[in-house]
Amino acid sequence: MAFDIVFHEKERVFHLYNEKISYLMRVMENEQLEHLYYGKRIHDREGFSSLHEEAQRSQMSVCIPEPGSLSMQYATQEYPSYGTGDYRSPAFSILQENGSRVSDFRYRGYEIKKGKPSYLPLPMSYVEEDDEALTLDIFLVDAVSETELRLEYTLYRDYPVLCRNVCFTQMGAEKIHLEAALSMSVEFLDKDFTMLHLAGAWGRERYVKSRKLEMGIQSIQSLNGTCSGAEHNPFIALLRPDANEDQGKVYGFNLVYSGNFLSQVEVSTFEMTRVMLGINPQNFSYCLSEGESFQSPEVVMAYSEDGLNGLSQVYHRFFKNRLMHGKYKNQERPILLNNWEATFFDFNEEKILHIAKKAKEVGAELFVLDDGWFGKRNDDYRGLGDWDANLEKLPQGIAGLSKKVEALGLKFGLWFEVEMVNMDSELYRAHPDWMIATPGRFPSHARHQHVLDYSRKEVVDYIYGKMAKILRESSISYIKWDMNRYMSEPYSAALDAERQGEMMHRYILGVYDLYHRLTTEFPDVLFESCASGGARYDAGLMYYAPQTWCSDDSDAAERAKIQYGTSIAYPIVSIGSHVSQVPNQQLYRNTPLETRANMAYFGTFGYELDLNLLPEKEIEEVKKQIQFMKEYRKLIQIDGDFYRLRSPFKGNETAFMVVSPKKDQALAMYFQTLNHVNASWIRFKLKGLEENRLYRVQADLSPCLERLENPVLHASFNLEKKSLDYLAYGSELMEVGIPISRDDLSRKGGDFASILFKIDAKS
């Protein structure tokens, strides 16, 4: 198998390659690094230095003695700086004691080693065996500031993936201030790309957006402090002009980080494209004294020749196998019921056990107690920070309730929002300086709460002690870790003035530290991250919490867009997706119970309602849904390859599909938003099957419960039970498609109707 990192000493060229990709760079005359190529695997050879080009251009600054003509403005640099003739955006900036920001990092050497280092608690991808990856460290030194820069590249044997990070170490006696330290930069010689990213807001996270690259800067960012944010996700992709969902070259860049970020693509007037990702330089400054280092987060660069869906499958496999960590990374997820939309703050032990008993009756496996169980938390104005059970609601505390739930035959889960504090709390009254606030400034509030200063170890230690005590005393299998506001007035009472620019990064490191300590002590607990829904949906948190509450918007039609966009960069097993009540609490929309389940199947699956309020016919339907998910969740969540078949951003339909590795089993879901009158024929074309294999296609076409219970519709439709069951070869299913009748969709509800197809190979 082709897999190596080669250094051609004569021309000083590095070539990193496996079966799918090649990455080339060289040491230039000025001892800086030049990027030569990134893309499809090419053969290794001597002579790659011929890819370097120079030309005399007006207004160019030459960075070597005459008669040389090397100009940084026209070089495709590996990790660019500003101040020596390159007038584009730099990847880093260092303020030195003399006030200069000019740097000149020159090549000093390299090291190639098997495996991949760990920088915990900062999350990064990992290896299980050293032979599955090679890591290249390139060392550069700025002689004037006496600063060392390490560029790190990890190449995986079995994935078209290159992981990158950087580390700055101050070797000299003078202090330096890092004012920017992005995790990676890569350059292309042309601008023939479309940039795709995921954008939105609360309730409509990760909508798919794209734009054709043009000269200038195209960027997305977060300055939210506590999270990567609902507005923009720390992932971008560049698609070649002929690339689409299924074919063409696509480059992906995903930052493994949960705080402020910048993803930037700059196209020069010579059509050179520079891509950079990392911690947002805005409000960032990191002071390094002699012997101190700054370690950046990681960027996972992925490449696909099979279009955007091919790129997604690379990220899905890689994140499931080499980013998610611990017991649940390749384990089916429990089917849960969460009480929040059933009770909000208004509950007691009797009511909770009544809901839990019904959850057990229908076949759920986990009951999750949400907000309101602690302190004086009867509304969202008070109590955050006081992590002791409210004994008026729960006389025997969490320990007693958890054991009673387990006695019913269910596992027990618990909600926390441990990074926040209400001013009306015992914690705030005891430690007002633990709240993030700037002296002399009004502390902006959001959702009646404020942010605890996780850049302070004593704060993290305190919260760890409270959470660990509850976990030790109780029978808890699952933690829903919420975080419901962005940071404002960023300032830490514990940091000196010159280190205030470190606070927001140190905050995220504190979050990671708490996750690391808890997941280490309690490895059997499944952690789900949440941030007002999906505001922390990033690869950084995925290391510790292998699933994320995808959005507070649980409406099935809206989830079509949210889950579609999320699937571009993240595996569907990470998508927290539940069936909620109707009318939906975010949109007040009614959608069929069948559709709500069909959409939620493509994720972790659970319920957000009080099952005791459902009529018996719906309870029987819920039992069937849970039985179905138990049968197919290994295919959906762990083994299967996910395909996006139709986009809700391009029309009235959404369709997903999961295919087993052996291509002998598949599930496909077709969903229409609104019904059409006297409409055209539908042919539902599948993907990922074997052309010459014979498959049995089955679908339940019986009317949805809502149709059956509407007497007006009996005159219009044949509401007798109906099913689809026929044989077809994979070639027919992919090229011709499954005929879908408009009458069947009308029987399924018309608006917001869906059909789930089971496809099984004939032996």
Which residue numbers are catalytic?
A: 482, 552
**312 alpha carbon, distance to own chain's centre:** 12
The crossing angle, in degrees rounded to 10, of helices 593-600 and 556-569 is 10
Contact 671, 754 (CB under 8 A): yes
The 3-state secondary structure of 514-582, one letter per residue: HHHHHHHHCCCCEEEECECCECCCCHHHHHHCCEEECCCCCCHHHHHHHHHHHHHHCCHHHEECCEECC
Question: Which residues, in sequence order, are CB contacts of 376 under 8 Å at separation 6+?
Answer: 382, 383, 386, 390, 424
Give the type of residue at 311: L
The 3-state secondary structure of 665-708, one letter per residue: EEEEEEEECCCCCCCCCEEECCCCCCCCCEEEEEEECCCCHHHH
Contact 568, 198 (CB under 8 A): yes
Contact 589, 583 (CB under 8 A): yes
Please give the C-alpha separations between residue 626 and each of 23, 214, 649, 759, in angstroms, as whole numbers.
47, 49, 30, 19
Residue 545 has which token pair? 């919490």
Please state the φ and ψ torsions of residue 290, each to the nearest 5 degrees: -55, 130
Residue 199 has which token pair? 């954008």
Spatial CA neighbour of 526 closest among 464, 463, 576: 576
Please give the C-alpha separations between residue 598 and each of 130, 273, 374, in angstroms, as whole numbers.
41, 42, 35
Contact 684, 670 (CB under 8 A): yes
Question: Which residues, in sequence order, are CB contacts of 4 under 8 Å at separation 6+?
Answer: 15, 16, 17, 44, 134
CA 227 – CA 240 distance, rounded (Å): 31
Please state the φ and ψ torsions of residue 557, each to the nearest 5 degrees: -70, -40
Please give the C-alpha separations between residue 252 and each of 147, 219, 281, 304, in angstroms, as whole numbers.
31, 15, 22, 8
Please give the C-alpha separations between residue 35 and each of 13, 76, 486, in angstroms, as whole numbers.
10, 5, 37
Q: What residue ranges in 248-361 does DSSP mark as E strands?
A: 250-256, 261-267, 273-279, 286-288, 293-295, 298-304, 336-338
What 3-state class would DSSP assign to 185? strand
Is the backbone peptide bond immediately before 583 cis, with ω within 30 degrees of 0?
A: yes
CA 70 – CA 75 distance, rounded (Å): 8
Residue 549 has which token pair? 């509450």
Residue with token string 């005159």: 715
Spatial CA neighbour of 498 closest among 88, 12, 216, 97: 97
Q: What residue ranges in 321-419 does DSSP mark as E strands?
A: 336-338, 366-369, 411-416
Greatest Cα pair distance, the chain, in angstroms, is 90
Q: Print burial letters for 562-600: b (CB count within 10 Å at least 16), e (below 16).
A: bbbbbbbbbbbbbbbbbbbbbebbbeeeebbbbbbbbbb
